[in-house]
Amino acid sequence: MQELKSFLQNDWCTGTGTGNTLHDPSTGEAVATASTAGLDLGAALDYARREGGKRLRAMTFAERGEMLTELSKAIHAHRAELLEISTLNTGTTLKDSKFDIDGATGTLAAYGDIGKELGDRTFLLDGEGMQCGRSPRFHGQHIQVPLRGVAIHINAFNFPAWGFAEKLACSFLAGVPVLTKPATSTCLPSYRVAQIVVESGLCPDGAWSFLAGSVGDLLDHVTSQDVVAFTGSANTARRIRSHEQIIAKSVRVNAEADSLNAMVVGPDMKVGSDTWDLFIRELTREMTQKSGQKCTATRRVFLPEALIESAVEALKDSLAEFPAGSAHDESNRMGPLSVPSQFADVVDVLKQLSAESEIAIGSIPTGNGTPCATIEPIVMVNRDPKNSPLVHDLEAFGPAVTLMPYSGDAIEAGELVALGNGCLVATMYSDDIKFTQDLLLELAPWNGRVLLGSKRIADPSTGPGIVLPSLIHGGPGRAGGGLELGGQRGMNLYMQTCAVQGSRPVIEKILG
């Protein structure tokens, strides 16, 4: 069984003790162990600040972008191996493994292009300069410069490659060194990528650190110049934000947490139309891709009551094409839950939700999820969403969704979506421009992203579950209140905005 190491202070090191055990979700077999016990994490952060930060800041945006481009190529060169490791430790089918690995390399490449566009500079101008007094010579200009700390990236179990890559791309391009701490249970793919990064020799000394195992006392050593970017549960996000050192040093924390993402079907919808087919196709994908274990997966669907039975029948047909089981069996199009121990939690939530809703497709498993923690797709119907608090509060992090009726009014639909208290993404399906406009303005305050599904994008739509590097990823309220990606916007978390005042000729000469 493989013993995973951490890469700290430019060297591989192993923690003491037995640590945590990683499993193959399809078989329950132990595949690796990881421990951080005994590692000096304070010294590791100091080294990254001192050595990695200095070297990254000396590079221009174009040079950092070229580094990201080459890292993307280096990781892609090991694609076949990484796909096998992903299936082994996360229980994903080949297609879903590609979703994670290719998402990682694609995001790194996209930010490589942004670096090329920003060119041979080491800081950014933020907006236009402005006159600050009666004399035009007294001038002001905002600039953005990289922080002098470390970007601590604590990632979720479901995307061991893409999850860290989207954070790393923004941080590296901004000029801030990274310490990546993936979820231990599925960190085998992350570990192999970490090895590839080190073997490539592309990163300056100290710019890249990797922690395999628990977080330990890492947060005890953060400073005001560090950043913590977290993806995972809302409960863990709250614990991070309330950490004594985080509060004492006013450390920046960006959190992307779980959310009850929604779809709304417009009153103009016709069964069998291109827009209807798009709705069914994308909802099926959101339920089955990575066994529904995505932070962007749809959990709640609101549609006119007259369409509920048609939706159930259409989903029966589409979901039947996704048999679930061991990811090592190529006939299965959906694998098990990525972490076997989550099986009991998901089943418990499904049971609670079924107290408010009827099960229209599938059934709640009665076993214990061993050795293969498989849950078949489950569709529930709730006839009274305004008086059913659990469906807007509990998330079964698996292949489950609840269909609910609404009157067809955009304001009512917006109010129902808002009961989830903030989402990463919402999707609407309608070809009615007025309804689309009205609903968009109701959804926008409660969602980080809104997808307008219509016949016009029936073919090119990527669906709500795909996070694009050019658009922001995050959401308000329960979704964590964070913001990642969004092209150049993703660098804001790792840069300090400073207002510069003085003589206009001097400022323009200094800043260019």
**How far apart, in whole angstroms, are the C-alpha atoms of residue 411 and residue 409?**
6
The residues that bridge with 448 in the sheet, in sequence order, are none
Q: How many CA atoms lie within 13 A of 250 on its CB side?
A: 0
How many degrees, rounded to 5, is the angle at CA 433 between CA 428 and CA 436? 30
Instruction: Clarify whether 376 is annotated catalytic.
Output: no
Instruction: Clarify whether 256 is annotated catalytic.
Output: yes
| Contact assessment for residue 119 and residue 111, using Cβ atoms and an 8 Å cutoff | no
**How far apart, in whole angstroms, are the C-alpha atoms of residue 98 and residue 105?**
10
CA 137 remoteness from chain centre: 46
Label residues 47-79 b or e (16+ Cβ within 10 Å = b). Answer: bbbebbbebbbebebbebbbbbbbbbebbbebe
Q: Which of 295, 376, 423, 484 is catalytic?
A: 295
61-76 helix and 188-200 helix, angle to the nearest 10 degrees: 120
CB neighbours of residue 108 within 10 Å = 28
| Cα distances (Å, whole numbers) of residue 286 to 265, 326, 377, 401 | 15, 19, 11, 9
The residues that bridge with 229 in the sheet, in sequence order, are 153, 254
Q: Which of 256, 286, 376, 442 is catalytic?
A: 256
CB neighbours of residue 3 within 10 Å = 12
**How far apart, in whole angstroms, are the C-alpha atoms of residue 430 and residue 266?**
5
Which among 452, 404, 456, 462 has a CA at the least distance from the CA of 429? 452
Which among 53, 207, 205, 62 has a CA at the least distance from the CA of 122? 62
User: For 324, which DSSP code?
Assistant: B
Sign of CA dihedral 100, 196, 217, 228: negative
| Contact assessment for residue 152 and residue 181, using Cβ atoms and an 8 Å cutoff | yes
501: helix, coil or strand? Answer: strand
Residues known to be catalytic: 256, 295
